[in-house]
Amino acid sequence: MSGNDGGVFVYHPLHSQTPLYSVYDTAIQGPAPKVAHTLSPDDQTRLLKRYRIHMRDVIERRGPKSGFDLEKDFKDDARDLVQRFRAFFPALLSKTTLTEHAAQAAIFFPTIECFDNRCIEIKGHNEAIFITSRTLDAIELFADTLSMCIALNGPELSALLALENPPPPHVLLAWMTMNTRPTPDVLMLDSVLGPGSRRLSEEALREELYTNERAMKWLPEANRNGWGHYRLSMALTWLMLVAINRLVRGAQLGGEHYLGVTIPRPGSTSMLSLDSRYLSTLILSFIVLHEIGHFALGHNNAAGPPVDPVLQKIVDASLAHAGETGTEAQNLIGSFVGHETAADGFALDVIENEYRDPMLEAATLWCAALAGTNDDCGDWLDHFGANPRGNYPAFSMRVWFMNGRFSEGKRKGRIAQDITRQAEALARTIRQDEQPARDSAGVFLKLWQIAEKQTSVENELLDWLQNQLGKPKR
């Protein structure tokens, strides 16, 4: 989105004026879908038994608090996100190259307070996908917070751009706050994120953000509200990312104290807004397509998936060249890295071009939010080189891979590079914030309440102006 005068290009494929959003909006307005899959009762019993064996191991390492009974307490989550997904996913599949079999995939959402996404397959007894309720919690926390930050920054974009000379060639609207905290602290966020902020009231935090003389005295009056919005959105995003890091790594790290604070933000016709329900549904759909990719590519086969003979020749030639030149090369066929990146590629490759860009944006945002949770705290290339076949790929590597493989049009080149750099930076720094998540949750709640009031006031003002001008509400 940009003016005809060649001004700043605003990249935001997740707005509501796209073909994919139309598919989503039409699907969720329809009648509640019936849950159907191809599993027989015997197949379902076998797959659930296999999944419970897997989850016992996961729970022992980083699972929920003691007292959880995997046999007795195994129930399916029925929250709104699940219902929207079940309505949208068949419509999405109609825009892919997948067969009808994919629409009948058995997908379960067990209510388990442990982050996990898994595909289980038993030869001769079908297959199923399991996504825990803790994963759904993290998705909703992420989508709601990002939507709120865009609601804060979108209307103030002109004021924020006026502070930069020269203005940037592009703005990545959804990525504006998906950044590491700058050093030195030019945003002066220590006052609202540091240990001392826990003692501040909501009003005191608001004053720090919007009227603090140290942070505002150098700004023109017209830019101060936008700068306060941006500082607030940066603080919200940072605390949210810390919370998701803790939620993914284990149930005892305090991230659960952030749950229930945020609320979904509705859609808007503005191209500078984001429907949080839409984003959360896209993320969940990408996860499911990723797991279907594991099935389709044969990653669960005991003998390993079939190997493309052309790919094998390329690998053999690369290894031979490395041996001749004294350089290093790795055969990643059959490795965790090969499987995970291939499943990511499958999830995006099957989507028709017209609908892919929003899904690519949702997938890379989600992987960036998980950066640092997979023991990938440093440079992903160094991390990968230490054990290329034994490690799961860093989430920042997956962002790099998806951008490189699927970026087209405006996204290709500089925008994809900037997104990749931001994800890599988050992977290096997010685990360094060792503030107990439990202690910061109260600050997050107060900041969220400030953001709700700020966006509510601005929406009321916009409605009043539109009524005065006789224009329909957006």
The type of residue at 314 is I
Whether the bond between 166 and the residue before it is cis, its omega within 30 degrees of 0, is yes
Q: Could you tell me which residue, 392 or 369, shows the higher pLDDT?
A: 369
Token readout for 162 is: 């006026």
50 occurs within a structural domain: yes
Q: How far apart are CA 90 and CA 93, in angstroms?
A: 5
pLDDT, one tens digit per residue, over 148-164 is 999 999 999 999 998 88
pLDDT, one tens digit per residue, over 259-285 is 999 999 887 888 999 999 999 999 999
Whether the per-residue pLDDT at 288 is higher than 80: the answer is yes
Question: Residue 236's CB: how many other CB atoms inside 10 A?
Answer: 25
The conformation of residue 351, written as its DSSP 8-state character, comes to B
Question: Is the CA virtual torsion 111, 112, 116, 119 positive or negative?
Answer: negative
291 occurs within a structural domain: no
116 occurs within a structural domain: yes
Give the relative orientation of helices 414-429 and 395-406 as an angle to the nearest 10 degrees. Answer: 180
pLDDT of residue 3: 39
pLDDT, one tens digit per residue, over 394-422 is 898 899 999 999 999 999 999 999 999 99
Q: Is residue 467 within a helix (H) or strand (E), and if so which, with residue range? A: helix 437-469
Whether the per-residue pLDDT at 291 is higher than 60: the answer is yes
Model confidence band, residue 335 (pLDDT cutoffs 50, 70, 90): low
Number of domains in the chain: 1
Using DSSP's 3-state secondary structure scheme, residue 96 falls into strand
Q: Domain range for residue 115? A: 20-134
Q: How far apart are CA 436 and CA 252, in angstroms?
A: 11
Q: How far apart are CA 170 and CA 415, in angstroms?
A: 8
The conformation of residue 76, written as its DSSP 8-state character, comes to B
Compute φ and ψ for 378, nearest 5 degrees.
-105, -155
pLDDT, one tens digit per residue, over 78-117 is 999 999 999 999 999 999 999 877 888 899 999 998 899 9
Model confidence band, residue 382 (pLDDT cutoffs 50, 70, 90): low
Percent of the chain with pLDDT over 90: 49
369 occurs within a structural domain: no
Model confidence band, residue 473 (pLDDT cutoffs 50, 70, 90): very low
Q: How far apart are CA 189 and CA 441, in angstroms?
A: 16
Whether the per-residue pLDDT at 330 is higher than 60: the answer is no
Whether the per-residue pLDDT at 32 is higher than 80: the answer is no
Q: How far apart are CA 22 and CA 237, in angstroms?
A: 28
Strand 127-131 to 106-108 pairing: parallel
Give the relative orientation of helices 414-429 and 353-369 as an angle to the nearest 10 degrees. Answer: 20
327 occurs within a structural domain: no
- Average pLDDT, stretch 41-52? 90
The pTM (predicted TM-score) of the whole model is 0.87
Q: Could you tell me which residue, 180 or 283, shows the higher pLDDT?
A: 283
Whether the per-residue pLDDT at 194 is higher than 50: the answer is yes
Q: How far apart are CA 424 and CA 368, in angstroms?
A: 8
437 occurs within a structural domain: no
11 occurs within a structural domain: no
104 occurs within a structural domain: yes
